[in-house]
Structures are given as structure tokens and as C-alpha cells.
Copies of this chain bind each other. A is one copy, B any other.
């Protein structure tokens, strides 16, 4: 029995998120079914992050156990040959038997993309948030930086979430302005449910000058979800990379 660790990308547009569900087309179900086609085994795939419906991945990490005699690095072409072309394995290697992609992760990074032009928008509707409002980008950039550090992010978590602690360490939170694109880059040791989409929705309120950048600190302090902005579309969100102690 070997434990295989893989890095993969996927276009989440046509999936009901990562996690297996009854009667829904999910990334996990597709991976497990393609592995079954390849080896005949019934495996359970663990992932670093359970991305929601419509969310994409550039560097999701998964792991599973297998008795198949496929060398670890050959898993990449082998599994790609069974997968639909909106899921692509980027690399594969043998991991420690107790490796868990979620619990062993030190840090995850996500990107949220906003496309700001009217021309071209029809091509990005499933891969970005479309927004052609005039935005105070400098204000958004200041507000984003204020979220960096150790904070209680309860105000930026979907209500009803049952986690032990709302404290997270956000090591990077930056807005990058590149021609037609506005990009949020965010890294943390963990994220609460809908946290990035609520942060983006709140930063957009700063962009609209309905909130000042400094309001972000008041919202953090309040721990009140109602004071933060709305949860924006999943289509702009990408799980970019996951960092582990072994590198």
C-alpha cells in the first residue's frame, strides 16, 4: 500500500464543488471514479481544501492510498488519461503513509479575480467576477493590507459555521491592479467558510467608497457578519497553492 500525493488544477465551472455528494457531479467523485477506472480500486481522496461549487484550483493537493503498481510519477499521465479535460494532474509523488493534505498544510494561498472591462466579459463570466464600476482601488489596497496579521475573522465567516476558533493568521492580503484585472492575493494558515468571498465583497464596498479602509478594522472588532460586505460569486476564486513543512 502506497500513499500518493498529487497537485492538480481544475476548472470548477461544471462541478458542484470538491466534496462528494449524492446525485451531484463533484471533483472528488470524478477523481475517485477515474482512479477506479484506472486500477479497479475504490479509494477515498482527501484534499487540502474543499472548494465550493464554481470555485477553481490552480494547485489543489490531494492524497489517497493505493495498492496499484503504478510508479508514483507515472500516476500523472495515467490518471490524466482517464480524467475529463477540465481536471488536470500537474504532478504526483509518494507521500508518507500518514500524510493528510488538509491537516498537514502550513499555509494556503488563493487568488480572487475581477474583470473590469465590458469588452471581453463574455469570455470570463465563469472565471472571474465581472464588475465595471468605478472603484477606488487605492482605498481597496489600503483596506486589504489592514487584514494582514492575526485576527478573529468571525465577521468574515458565513453565519452558522461551527468552528472552534475564528482566529486565523493572514500572512498576505494584497490587491493588485493590472489593466482590465483586479486581483486579490491572500495567504493564511487557514480560511473560514466563505471568508475570501466575504473579504472580497467587503473590499468592493471600500472600492465604492461606502466604507473607508479603516472601517475594515471596526468590522474585524465587531465579529459581526452583518457589518461586512456580501459574499461575492465563486467564479472568481482560485485555490492557488498549498504549503507543507517538507516543502
Chain A positions near chain B (C-beta within 8 angstroms): 9-11, 56, 58, 85-88, 90, 118-123, 125, 127, 130
Contact = CB atoms under 8 A, between A and B. Distances in A.
B11 A88 contact: no
Contacts of A88: 118-119, 121-122
A9 B119 contact: yes
A85 B58 CA distance: 25
Given A9-B119, A9-B120, A125 B85 contact: yes
A234 to B, nearest CB: 15
| Interface residues of chain A: helix, strand, loop or mixed (majority) | mixed
Question: So how many copies of this chain end up in the complex?
Answer: 2
A121 B87 CA distance: 9
Contacts of A120: 9, 58
Contact of A122 (B9, B119, B125, B130): B9
A10 B87 CA distance: 25
Contacts of A127: 123
Given A56-B123, A58-B119, A88-B118, 18 more contacts: A9-B119, A9-B120, A9-B122, A9-B123, A10-B122, A11-B122, A11-B123, A58-B120, A85-B121, A85-B122, A85-B125, A85-B130, A87-B122, A88-B121, A88-B122, A90-B118, A90-B119, A123-B127
